[in-house]
Amino acid sequence: MPARTPRARPPAGRGSGSDGLRVAEPLIVTHGLAKEYRLGTLVVPALRGVTLEIAAGEFVAVMGPSGSGKSTFMNLLGCLDSPSGGEYFLAGEKVSAMSGDALAAIRNRRIGFVFQNFNLLARTSALENVELPLLYAGVEKQARRERALRRLEQVGLGDRLDHQPSQLSGGQQQRVAIARSLVNDPVLILADEPTGALDSRTSFEVMALLQALNRGGITVVLVTHEHDIAAFAGRVVSFRDGRVVEDRREPNPVDAAVARAGLETQPA
Ligand code: ADP
Ligand code: MG
């Protein structure tokens, strides 16, 4: 009997972006997305109807003053919270109607998170921090090690596997967090002020890494209040009072690696 051609990838393997499936429809669609928080009798309207499409492969910066709803919007996109109104579709799936368990499954399968303060476990090695999402996903030990190792190498920390967060610089900690965000092969990275705790030099390095991941096909949505950080994005969506007030495309975003190299010529 002729041998069958083996499958190139296990079924769980993610497409390279050339499999065409997600190219036709936007990765993210929101219709009139709304969120209000209730504090006793007080109702705080944080989002007041956000209608937006984000295509697979975009790099979007979300801007706006403090309290304008940026984090609320990111939490909804990240399936960390449910909207009070409106609809949200992620890769064609209607997320806004899903229950907690289904949301958690989508979140673990499709989305990586990066935060301002890294959110790494203290007294836990870089390798173990990156393995953590795989532990939750039920991946067995050897595979966890290998996948975490590969992602740490990808972010340039292959020589810091056993370092704990307190033994790493801010930029290195954020790279560990980015490695962790990648370990489940997400289609989307959500980053809420990922450079907010970093100096310019280190911020640009982190942005160069996110740009490289984006060029590899991952969609990135990032909150920042700094214009020189938003300049690395291909699109800037601005919020005010829970609404989108501006949506601007930038056909030629600044290359963060080039900007980082430019800092070398300036005094520290
Ligand atoms: P941003 O990230 O742009 O600073 P947020 O999305 O955090 O804004 O907040 C939007 C509004 O919702 C603000 O008025 C804020 O005070 C309020 N808010 C945010 N989170 C909560 C919460 N968990 N409970 C009550 N109000 C909240
Ligand atoms: Mg915020």
Domain range list for the chain: 56-82+100-263
pLDDT at residue number 267 = 64
The verdict on the CB of residue 66 being under 6 Å from ligand 1 is: yes
Average pLDDT, the chain: 91
Q: What is the dihedral of CA 246, 247, 251, 256, to 10 degrees?
A: 80
197 alpha carbon – ligand 2 mean position (Å) = 13
- Give the mean pLDDT of 228-255: 97
pLDDT at res. 137: 86
Calculate how far, in angstroms, residue 47's C-alpha sits from the geometric centre of ligand 2.
13
Residue whose CA lies nearest to ligand 1 atom number 5: 69
Residue 69, pLDDT > 60, answer: yes
Asked whether the predicted pLDDT for residue 23 surpasses 90, the reply is no
What's the pLDDT at 257?
Answer: 96
Rg (CA), the chain: 19
Question: Which ligand 1 atom is nearest residue 68's CA?
Answer: 3
- The residues, any chain, with a CB within 8 Å of residue 89's CB and separated by 6 or more, are 28, 29, 30, 95, 96
Q: Rounded to the nearest 5 degrees, what angle is found at the Cα of 114, between the Cα atoms of 233 and 70?
A: 65
Question: What CATH superfamily classification does 56-82+100-263 receive?
Answer: P-loop containing nucleotide triphosphate hydrolases (3.40.50.300)
| Residue 264 pLDDT class (50, 70, 90 cuts) | confident
- pLDDT range class, residue 43, cuts 50, 70, 90: very high
pLDDT of res. 199: 96
Query: Is the confidence at residue 1, as pLDDT, over 90?
Result: no
Residue ranges in 155-266 assigned as alpha helix (H): 170-182, 200-215, 227-230, 256-263
User: Is the Cβ–Cβ distance between 236 and 230 less than 8 Å?
Assistant: yes
Q: Given this model, what pLDDT does residue 128 score? A: 98
Interval 2-21 mean pLDDT: 43
Token pair for residue 145?
């090690």
How remote is the CA of residue 22 from the centroid of ligand 1, in Å?
A: 32
d(CA 90, CA 27): 6
Measure the CA–CA gap between 233 and 186, rounded to whole angstroms. Answer: 19
pLDDT in tens, 135-178: 988 999 999 999 999 999 999 999 999 999 999 999 999 999 99
Least distant ligand from the CA of 75: 1
| 170-182 and 141-154 helices, crossing angle to 10° | 130
- Provide mean pLDDT across the span 107-123: 95
pLDDT in tens, 186-202: 999 999 999 999 999 99
The encoded tokens of residue 257 equal 């690696």
Provide, rounded to the nearest whole percent, the portion of the chain with pLDDT above 90.
Answer: 85
**Ligand 2 mean position, distance from CA 268 (Å):** 29
